Structure 1
Amino acid sequence: MKAMIAHPQHTLHLARETMDIEAAALLGLKERLDERFVNAVDHMLAVQGRVVVMGMGKSGHIGRKIAATLASTGTPAMFVHPGEASHGDLGMIKAVDVVLAISNSGESVELLAILPVLKRQGVPLIALTGGLDSTLARHAHVVLDCSVEKEACPLNLAPTASTTAQLAMGDALAVALLDARGFKPEDFARSHPGGALGRKLLTHLSDVMRQGKDVPQVGPDAEFTVLMREMSNKGLGATAVTDAQGLVLGVFTDGDLRRLIEKGGDLRALKARDVMHPHPRTIRQDALAVEAAQIMELHRITSILVVDASGVLCGALNTNDLMRAKVI
């Protein structure tokens, strides 16, 4: 075909019209939601196995996304291609599963071919379709109406508004299910350990804190020059003051140093016990790194000491450590 140059105004008109048509399709979908949607959610909540999502063509692409969304929000799910199901993959589906079949027409040959087997196994079938009088709808236990008035395609042929409606219905199911299951951010993080939320909610202090010789600490009788050397060498911006058993007595920070300098006097004559801030904020070593970030933000401090169950110093960290770990 000969290359064409798009007319700017016409192109923008088509884009806006596409969005108007698809937005209208979603609003229509919203108005038609009824007890059948609740029934579908109940079937998926009660399933002992998995939600098996199936669909051909563009509906199949939507089905893969719906299966992925369900799986990541607490509902065990997988996608099975209907064409492959007739050639062996049907063995993946068990009587304890529920099938979510997606077809705009409800007459996809590959889906219809496996309906007798599903019925023989007693597998509940939820149809997500625009063909309410279709073969798929007649055999389904629950029918979710995803019909649209027209496609956004100017030819009214390419699946556009219909696939948008399917995707929105899948998202609505996933959201209703995660709420019913009491799904929490921590649960989401466990299935997304490589994402930002996973790092925030699954990273423990032990993963990011400084330990052993990297933790700045001095005794209460340490001279001021020793205290300053420890702070400089360890680069935390603070040092802990501990007793002989390692119990935290206090902390001395860069901010404390600035305030001392402003007051004047001979700093060399001072001991750690004279300049430390007693009873500093600490955090238990079994806490999450995000908890340390919250404490530091709340109290406007840039570092925090980590202690064990007995209050013995076992680590330390500052905002730079949290930033390197991408917790903040």
Structure 2
Amino acid sequence: MKPSAFDYHAPRTLGETLEVLAGAGPHGKVLAGGQSLIPLLNMRLAAPSHLVDINRVTSLDTIAVRDGGVRVGALARHAAVERSAAVARAQPLLGAALRLVAHPVIRNRGTVVGSLVHADPSAELPAVLTVLDGSVRLARHGGGERDVPAGEFFTGPLESATEPGELAVSAFFPALPARAGSAFCEVARRHGDYAMAGAAAVVVLDEDLRIASARVACVSAGPVPVLLDMSEVCAHRPAASDDWDAVARAVRDLIDPEGDIHATAGYRRHLTGVLAARALRIAAQEATEDRDDATGGPR
């Protein structure tokens, strides 16, 4: 298969990139890692008139770790973010999810921001951004920048809030608060495949090591990552509890996944409940370990 004809652009600055995208409008596509876009072009599921290759815009190849979290530039590769010790300390959920993304050869080229803009509800990173209440920064020629929260960014399968002429220049993953833990669990037919079901969880404990808040974003459970606030179900549950059956049942009651060639709707619902409860349990345990670190206890 070969892509349909297009005009190729290779800008070297952000300003030049935004100018080209403004001229291309709805007929332009951005090429960064290309791990999702190139197959779509070859199968002619996407047929842009203009392809804007941003790989020479080095100012977008950034990973910035600050007290508030991690900001990942549009050209930061999965592998670079995954291997960053500073990212692992500031936001461990990001690294945990990246280790499940495809295979090393894909992660060496694919980009974090590109995965978010691709907006596949079966992908890991949209769920991570959603459960952390992160955001994507969009820029346009002559129009400045705007930050779109995750809850508004993903609008449907393979659809995001990115408008024609805009470029997603970075994504922000907030750090966890004190006494918090996170976890990512998924099941795929083969390692590296898209998940049949998955869950990204964040749990915050109170001073008595009981659950104060619990959130989980479900993968492959809807047209966008499905965010569930499980705080009421988990309220005052000891972090060390082994009984999470009620949580799994509550998750199953709140989702309405579709079946496909990989899993029936019923199986996906059951699996999502199991994985969500498991991720929440692991996150609660990690929050306990975070408390031990803070008080000088064992890790």
TM-score bin (small chain):
under 0.3
TM-score by length of 1: 0.18
1 or 2 for the larger relative contact order (CA 8 Å, sep ≥6)? Answer: 2
The structure carrying a bigger helix percent of its residues is 1
TM-score by length of 2: 0.19
Larger Rg: 1
The structure carrying a bigger strand percent of its residues is 2
